[in-house]
A = this chain, B = another copy of it.
Amino acid sequence: MDEAILDVVVIGAGTAGLAALREIRKRSERFALIDDGKWGTTCARVGCMPSKALIESANAFHRRRDFDVFGIRGAESLRADVPAVLVRVRALRDQFVSGVRKLTDGLGERAITGRARIVAPDCVEVNGRRLRARRIIVATGSEPVVPPPWRALGERLLTTDNLFERDDLPARIAVVGMGAIGAEVAQALSRLGIEVTAFGSSELVAGLSDPQVNAALLASLRQEFPVHVGAPAVVSAADDGSVRVSNGRQQVQADAVLAALGRRPVLAGLGLDTLGVPLDENGLPSVDPTTMRVGASQVFLVGDANAQAPLQHEAADEGHIAGLIASGAVARRFRRRVPLSIVFCDPDVAVVGRRFSQLDGSDVLVGEYRFERQGRARIEQRARGVLRVYAARGIGLLLGAELCAPAGAHLAHLLALAMERTLTVHDLLRMPFYHPVLEEGLRSALRELASQLPPCSESDLAGCGPIGADAIE
């Protein structure tokens, strides 16, 4: 294998690398897939899947607080068995990892375990061997950001890499960082009965940029546990074996700290500097999102590793695009999907299309709906949160939305489809909204937008011709 020139070498067997592999295998047997040994996607191993399993147990337990209102007695006898929750998390994770591992079964020696290094634009070194390849796809993923001094906390330092491995969790956990992962995990741990204190350096949490949606989320989270935002937190070991976390205004002692400061690309030692293209201060080259190519090279950088949109579905698309182009299937650019990001707090948080901070205020109309008064939400004891939809003046083209709302993940998909199809407010109002459903809250926000647009019709419904000879006089 050393002497022959391969068609493609893929570095990293995560979501992006496997999506690339899928396309490459359709067209070539002359490839190699190199992984540093974890063999399982971030999503399945330490990301989406175990976190959702934790959240699901936590939400089911939290629901007991509504039981008395629902006419269900005995909720005071319920307790969360955290070790059992973690056993289930790992059991599910193992199933999902095993599903992913099957995708590389049968690759034989084309699957190589080792740390890869690019030594030239057409050459990768791994385990002391050199592989020459016409194209290289880099899909090395990301890892949690941990400030080096925190390492001194030892066992008291949690990240998503080790959280789900624990047999049990301590009574008090400080969560530092309130992005998507911090918000999800802090709420889940709190709901499982752990005394959580959360710190966020920005006033904005969970990836939101709309201050009103952010305020609704913070108010909701703060009914469950303290959330201190707007100042960076400093972490230090206390004499009594606990951890002290302070942002200068608030301070807390905890038994452990979860570092949820974000994830960064795994690029160290990869040799991107040998490609002869400029790298930014984080060591990242410029990557064209329509082709995933690094400059005009035959190297592709996809998934979390390029830090463009570190989301599973984007990683899959990026690997797919790179796989198609690198395997010679197509020589065209790809239009990327409408941006969609979801944080599985309760209520769900989502950003669709253009975010609030990307809008030009003067040309934008906002339709807002607060779920406090929504019928179905009240029946479900989930009447909180807010939905804000942004549309352009003129014909009312839908531009984006931010929301913190019950069933928000589902509302976000509906909005994403509408934006993918470049629909207007009036277009979307023509769909049927059943009753009673949470989607009716979206309709209210759309109607508020419609009321700000030039009158176009007396009705949401489309006409289909005049009334004929028997017309109403």
Contact = CB atoms under 8 A, between A and B. Distances in A.
A410 B407 contact: yes
Interface in A12-65: 23, 43, 48-49, 52-53, 56-57, 60-61, 63
A399 to B, nearest CB: 16
Interface in A424-473: 427-428, 430-437, 439, 458-459, 461-467, 470-472
Contacts of A332: 463-467
A402 interface: no
A79 interface: yes
Nearest to A326: B472
A304 B60 CA distance: 38
A146 interface: no
Contact of A66 (B60, B342, B410): B60
A290 B464 contact: yes
A379 interface: yes
A298 interface: yes
Contacts of A435: 43, 48, 311-313, 316
A336 B312 CA distance: 38
A152 interface: no
B434 A379 contact: no
Contact of A331 (B67, B329, B421, B466): B466
Interface stretch (A68-76, A107-115, A237-245): A68-76
> Most chain-B CB neighbours within 10 Å: which of A53, A413, A421?
A413
Interface in A295-332: 296, 298, 311-313, 316-317, 320-321, 324-326, 328-332
A49 B79 contact: no
A88 interface: yes
A333 interface: yes
Contact of A379 (B49, B71, B81, B409): B49
Contacts of A298: 472
Given A78-B73, A342-B437, A465-B333, A427 B432 contact: no
> Most chain-B CB neighbours within 10 Å: which of A296, A298, A434, A463?
A434
A77 interface: yes
A264 interface: no
Contacts of A73: 78-81, 84
The number of times this chain is found in the oligomer is 2
Contacts of A354: none
Nearest to A382: B56
Contacts of A284: none
A376 interface: yes
A166 interface: no
Contacts of A43: 435-436
Contacts of A272: none
B467 A333 contact: yes
Contacts of A92: 378-379
B407 A331 contact: no
B317 A433 contact: no
Given A96-B375, A420-B431, A432-B416, A325 B81 contact: no
Interface of A: 23, 43, 48-49, 52-53, 56-57, 60-61, 63, 66-67, 69-75, 77-88, 92, 95-96, 135, 290-291, 293, 296, 298, 311-313, 316-317, 320-321, 324-326, 328-342, 375-376, 378-381, 407, 409-410, 412-414, 416-418, 420-421, 423, 427-428, 430-437, 439, 458-459, 461-467, 470-472
20 contacts: A56-B379, A60-B70, A61-B72, A71-B83, A71-B87, A74-B77, A74-B78, A77-B77, A298-B472, A311-B435, A313-B434, A316-B435, A329-B458, A335-B461, A336-B461, A338-B431, A339-B432, A413-B431, A416-B431, A421-B427
Given A69-B88, A320-B459, A332-B467, 20 more contacts: A52-B376, A60-B63, A70-B88, A71-B80, A72-B81, A73-B79, A73-B84, A92-B378, A95-B378, A135-B472, A296-B470, A312-B436, A317-B461, A321-B461, A330-B458, A333-B463, A337-B461, A342-B437, A410-B410, A413-B439
